[in-house]
Amino acid sequence: MRDNTLKYLLVLPAVLVVFVTAIWPLIEAARLSFTVGRLNRPGSLDQYLGWENYLWAFFEEPAFWNSVWVTAIYTLLTVGLTTVFALGLALLLAPGGRLRSSAQALLILPFAMSPALIGVSFRFMFNPEFGLFDAFFGIVFPPLADVSWLADPQLALAVVVMADVWGWIPFLTLVLIGGLASVPRDTVEAAQVDGASGWRVFKDVTLPQLAPVLAVVVILKSIFSLKTFDQVFMLTNGGPGTATQTLSHYIYFNGMKYGQIGYSASVAWLMVIPMIFLTYAYAKFVFRKADQ
Amino acid sequence: MAEIKLNNLTKRWGDFIGVDDQSLHIKDREFLVLLGPSGCGKTTTMRMIAGLEEPTAGEIWIGDRMVNDDLPKDRDVAMVFQNYGLYPHMTIFDNIAYPLKVRGTDKSEIRPRVEKAAEQVELTEFLHRKPKALSGGQRQRVALARAIVRTPKVFLMDEPLSNLDAKLRVTMRAELKHLSRALQITTVYVTHDQIEAMTLADRVAVMKNGIIQQLGTPDDIYNNPANLFVAGFIGSPAMNLINGSVTDGMFVTTGGTRLVPVKSPDREKAILGVRADDMHVHEAGQGDIDVTIYAFENTGESTLLTVQWGKQRVIARGDRHLRKDQDDVVGISLNQDHLYLFDPETEDRIEM
Ligand SMILES: Nc1ncnc2c1ncn2[C@@H]1O[C@H](COP(=O)(O)OP(=O)(O)O)[C@@H](O)[C@H]1O
Ligand SMILES: [Mg+2]
């Protein structure tokens, strides 16, 4: 058998699995998005509507735009905060950084928790009566002690963002530590001897060489932020009202709770579009790095 | 321009001693070479001078300032790293200009100075390229240009030629020598290559296990090695070291051959050192002793004879026209003006 044929045969199972579990559902969802698609109305899954569902989302549903808005803010905040914190921690923890391994082991812990668990534990921590933060503020800053964090729209979003940032920092820190380790120490030391201050060494030498890894981190985290669901579901269930309703949650709500599968599918497809861009960018960065 | 003083400098990692209580006074404008086998603490010593490594104990003086607590950026040194440490994302121009930029040099001044430095190392046509697009020798020259673009108090060079192929190394060695003479800046140069050390240095400090074994001019080190280690390390091929004793003013090999007269009181154990060039090759029967050739090598400019001498092998250098073969028998005589005697216990040289 020729090497090439064998190569294709070997990846074939993987391709099949991806097709059955990812591509086919996508295609089916695309089809459903053009139907009436109500779970409680027999036959409606084959009842074609044209672009009606999409138009409905765009022009008749403030809740859709709300969830777009929430998702956008949520993504911007979580990506920004996680990246900045993870980078700071990575600089402290990297070989030659100021902290070392024991701290590293401790830090990975949050990543070992499932997002749903993070959601639940944060819900308890922010409970206004017996939560950790209630107790904490009771001592440090009493006026904040009895705030109902999850009942206030802005604060609730802040808590959701915080829980996510908390959960994601460890993994991204590890990725960035790896990235920092691949920045040649020689170049950093050369800059120090050349007369650069700590900040200039970082800005002129470390950061530019870390840029490809940083880009991967930002893209990867954006993908995960865009599709956040389980944490929101467990922590606030989208509330209060729809203040923390992300797109995924909105899709789930309409599809599973209200049975509007056709409409949900159309919103889901609207979400696929930015995802495809991000995934493409991600693949480009990862493979460009591998090429070098 | 400045002298460097290391006072009782020590570097330890846990129990491991990298540099052991060493003092060294490097004169203003001197080219000092730290020479020693891999792992003997040369780089560590240099990194402590640069401020990249913190001494466990001891003082470092550059000029009239104790710099122990100064950051690398404040020590006013320029360093050439073994792997050059070029900034891969910057052009060659920006690489060379970096020390000027971070030190706030006037914009109008930067370009002419970078161009001058590039010219000195013949890099002018590559200024717009990135390091990746250069050969090893060219990268090495960029590192050099980045060091000479300023006038620092001190140059530090860590095996700058070790990544180059043999031919380029010889060329670059000459260029370095020329450049250092022209610049007249105090230089500390680290290498494990004794030829580099001999050719470049004003003075050489030979190191072993974190301790300077001998400090002296290349002539000194070659002609008056202080101990067995220096004797064996300097010179190519290495000095022959023959085990034996001194009896009635003669050196007697362990095999019992009464070899040469030496000016030393009798001692039970001694090591005789003799360089290949001081072992003269004759026809069998015409030297002090007849030996069998173990290997015959012709290097072009001379011949090298490894001969079996009792249980030991020694190397003699022969005339370039000499032609012998393995297992031939030749006579050997020693040049009695250039013999060294060492104490095998202390490894120190015995004056005679
Ligand atoms: N950061 C470090 N931690 C522990 N040991 C080190 C460290 N850096 C160097 N050493 C050890 O110190 C010794 C001297 O190293 P170095 O100065 O680099 O030797 P060289 O003479 O080859 O330049 C070596 O045995 C090396 O393994
Ligand atoms: Mg070294």
B chain contacts of residue A205, beta-carbon cutoff 8 Å: 87
Domain's final residue, options B233, B265, B297: B233
pLDDT value of residue B16: 92
Same-domain check for residues B143 and B283: no
> What chain A residue is nearest to B87 in terms of C-alpha separation?
A187
Question: Which of A74, A97, A59 lies closest to A243, judged by CA?
Answer: A74
Decide: helix, strand or coil at residue A88: helix
Q: Which residue has the tokens 């001592």?
A: A139
| Residue A292 confidence (pLDDT) | 46
Q: How many domains does chain B have?
A: 2
Q: Ligand 1 test: best mutation among B16, B33, B52, B207, most atoms within 8 Å of CB?
A: B16
Last residue of a domain, one of B233, B268, B302: B233
| Cα–Cα–Cα angle for B343, B347, B349, rounded to 5 degrees | 65
State whether B263 and B218 are in the same domain.
no
Is A184–B83 a contact, with Cβ atoms under 8 angstroms apart?
A: yes
Question: Of the residues B183, B200, B233, which one is the last residue of a structural domain?
Answer: B233
Q: Cα of B81 to ligand 2 centre, how many Å?
A: 10
Q: Distance between CA A98 and CA A89 in Å, rounded?
A: 10
Ligand 1 in reach of B41 Cβ (< 6 A): yes
Q: In this predicted structure, what is the pLDDT of residue B48?
A: 95
What does the pLDDT profile of chain A (292 residues) look like in tens digits? Answer: 677 888 888 999 999 999 999 889 889 888 888 888 888 878 777 878 888 888 888 888 888 899 999 999 999 999 999 999 999 988 888 776 666 666 666 667 777 777 778 888 888 888 777 778 777 777 777 777 677 778 888 888 988 898 889 888 888 988 898 899 889 999 999 999 999 998 999 999 999 999 989 988 998 899 999 888 888 888 888 878 888 899 899 899 888 888 888 888 899 898 888 888 888 888 887 776 554 4
Q: Are residues B146 and B257 in the same domain?
A: no
Nearest beta carbon to residue B73 from set A187, A197, A209: A197
Q: What is the DSSP string of B197-233?
A: HHHH-SEEEEEETTEEEEEE-HHHHHHS-SBHHHHHH
Helix A207-226 with A153-181: angle, nearest 10 deg: 140
Angle, alpha carbons A65-A71-A73 (nearest 5°)? 105
Burial class (CB in 10 A: 0-12, 13-18, 19+), B7: middle
| Per-residue pLDDT of chain B in tens (352 residues, 90 and over written 9) | 689 999 999 999 989 999 999 999 999 999 999 999 999 999 999 999 999 999 999 999 999 999 999 999 999 999 999 889 999 999 999 999 999 999 988 989 999 999 999 988 888 999 999 999 998 889 989 999 999 999 899 999 999 888 888 888 888 888 888 888 888 999 999 999 999 999 999 999 999 999 999 999 999 999 999 999 999 999 888 899 999 999 888 898 888 888 888 888 888 899 999 999 999 999 888 888 888 999 999 988 899 999 988 778 899 999 988 898 888 899 999 988 889 999 999 999 988 7
**Do both B141 and B263 map to the same domain?**
no
Q: Are residues B106 and B219 in the same domain?
A: yes
Do residues B172 and B269 share a domain? no
Which ligand is in closest contact with the Cα of B39? Answer: 1
Sheet holding B329-334, edge to edge: B279-283, B329-334, B289-298, B303-309, B312-318
Q: Give the C-alpha separation, A175 to A172, whole Å.
A: 5
Q: Model ipTM? A: 0.84
Q: For residue A248, report the distance from its CA to the centre of ligand 1, in Å.
A: 55
Statement to judge: residues B177 and B42 lie in one domain:
yes
Co-location of B287 and B266 in the same domain: yes
Interchain CB contact of A196 with B (< 8 Å): yes
Instruction: Please list every residue in chain B whose beta carbon sits closer than 8 Å to the beta carbon of residue A214.
Output: none
Block residue for tokens 């932020």: A225
Q: For each of the domains in chain A, give its residue range(s) and CATH number, in order of start.
A: 62-291 (1.10.3720.10)
The reply to whether ligand 1 has any atom less than 6 angstroms from the CB of B16 is yes
**Which of A189, A204, A205 has the CB atom closest to B52's CB atom?**
A189
* Interchain CB contact of B339 with A (< 8 Å): no
pLDDT of A99 reads 62
B246 and B133 fall within a common domain = no
Q: Omega into A240 within 30° of 0, i.e. cis?
A: yes
Q: Whose CA is nearest to atom 8 of ligand 1?
A: B44
Ligand 1: residue whose CA is nearest its atom 10: B18
Residue A209 sits at the chain B interface (C-beta within 8 Å): yes
List all residues 6 or more positions away from A106 whose beta carbon is below 8 Å from its beta carbon: none
Task: Name the DSSP class of B276.
Answer: G
The Cα–Cα gap between A273 and A269 comes to 7
Range of the domain at B210: 4-233
B149 shares its domain with B293: no
Residues B19 and B140 in one domain: yes
Same domain, yes or no: B79 and B55: yes
What residue of B is the nearest CA neighbor of A188? B85
SS3 B273: strand
Residue whose CA lies nearest to ligand 1 atom number 19: B39
CATH, residue B299: 2.40.50.140
| Integer Rg of chain B from CA | 24
A190 touches chain B (CB under 8 A): yes
Nearest CB among A186, A193, A204 relative to B50 is that of A193
Q: Which residue of A has its CA nearest to B97?
A: A194
Q: What pLDDT is attached to residue B168? A: 82
Number of the ligand closest to the Cα of B46? 1
Residues of A in contact with B146 (CB under 8 A): 190, 194
**CATH number of the domain that B143 lies in?**
3.40.50.300
User: CB distance A194–B88 less than 8 Å?
Assistant: no
At A194 the pLDDT is: 94
